[in-house]
Amino acid sequence: MQEKYIQERNIGGTIKSVVAIICGIGIVVFLIAGIALISQGFSAVGWIVMLAGILSMAVGALFLYGFGELVEKTSENNAALLRMEKELAVLKALERQKHGQTSGGETVQADAKKNSGPKAQAEKVSPKAPSGKAEERASGAPQADTASFVPGRVSFDEASMRAMEAMESATEIYDYCSEILDGGDENVRELLKILNSTASAERLYGKAPKDALLAIRNYVKHGNRVFAVDRSDSLLTCPVCGKQMMSSRNRCLSCGALLRS
């Protein structure tokens, strides 16, 4: 796998180098052949061989060198697009997280005002009839899992995993995780970035709840951690299993560990 990536990365430069070498050798060969024919008395043939050979080698090398340049520039553009896509996904996650915090603060203030009013005080004093949910809880009947934020929560229980397995898109899973997990934890923030990137991708390629669930299972499998890696080179090394892969990956191809910069 490592050799494949290295070949893809250097193929444009390799083509240009090989073309330059072949062109140089071909020109030298035709030059020697033409001089040899001229020295033996075949002047006309010698000049034709020399000029036609050198010209054909130069024209062929020009086209092949241009093809190598095109491949090289295409690889550079693809790398630049990948970097832009990662940066855009991170910015969207930060913006959504900031918006969620702002909305949460406004909701808390509104609830505080509502609870401090005279109507709320009267409701606190007057007894209420037991609701259907209370009767259901008292009777021991099972209740549906609901998203509830728990300070310091960084993982998932069986109920939350079942709830996510029933969801139909990565966007639903991302919104659910944003509600129940503590965004102040570094590993949770990185997991939410990966889930947000998956949710963004499904707008182009269709719903992908399985990809989001796979990321969450790998997160839990490796101790609720997203591992930091060095992306300065074109290849990165998984800190868990040592597998090497493209630096744009956010999940190890071998062990499934989630990766962050």
Assigned domain for 110 exists? no
Looking at the fold, whether 230 and 209 belong to one and the same domain comes out as no
For residue 230, what pLDDT is reported?
85
For residue 197, what pLDDT is reported?
84
Looking at the fold, whether 168 and 210 belong to one and the same domain comes out as yes
**Buried b / exposed e along 9-18 (16+ C-beta atoms within 10 A):** beebeebbee
Long-range contacts of 31-38 (CB under 8 A, 24+ apart): none
Looking at the fold, whether 58 and 14 belong to one and the same domain comes out as yes
Assigned domain for 133 exists? no
Looking at the fold, whether 17 and 69 belong to one and the same domain comes out as yes
The larger pLDDT score, comparing residue 167 to residue 78, is at: 167
Assigned domain for 129 exists? no
Number of domains in the chain: 3
- Give kind and range of the element (H or E) at residue 246: strand 244-246
Looking at the fold, whether 23 and 60 belong to one and the same domain comes out as yes
For residue 141, what pLDDT is reported?
37
Looking at the fold, whether 211 and 244 belong to one and the same domain comes out as no
For residue 116, what pLDDT is reported?
53
Domain that holds residue 207: 149-217
pLDDT beyond 80 at 63: yes
**Buried b / exposed e along 141-180 (16+ C-beta atoms within 10 A):** eeeebeeeeeeeebebeeebeebbeebebbbbbbbbbbeb
The band of 93, judged by pLDDT with boundaries at 50, 70 and 90, is confident
Distance CA 46, CA 44 (A): 5
For residue 47, what pLDDT is reported?
92
**pTM, 2 dp:** 0.42
Looking at the fold, whether 179 and 234 belong to one and the same domain comes out as no
Assigned domain for 259 exists? yes
**Span 56-61, mean pLDDT?**
89
For residue 29, what pLDDT is reported?
92
Assigned domain for 99 exists? no
Looking at the fold, whether 68 and 19 belong to one and the same domain comes out as yes
**Span 36-56, mean pLDDT?**
89
Assigned domain for 24 exists? yes
Q: Residue 207 in contact with residue 194, Cβ under 8 Å?
A: no
For residue 111, what pLDDT is reported?
59
Looking at the fold, whether 181 and 243 belong to one and the same domain comes out as no
Assigned domain for 132 exists? no
Looking at the fold, whether 19 and 68 belong to one and the same domain comes out as yes
Looking at the fold, whether 237 and 201 belong to one and the same domain comes out as no
Assigned domain for 112 exists? no
Looking at the fold, whether 162 and 213 belong to one and the same domain comes out as yes
**Could you report the per-residue pLDDT of 203-261, keeping only the tens digit for each?**
777 776 888 888 898 999 988 889 988 888 888 889 899 888 888 888 888 898 888 87
pLDDT beyond 50 at 2: no
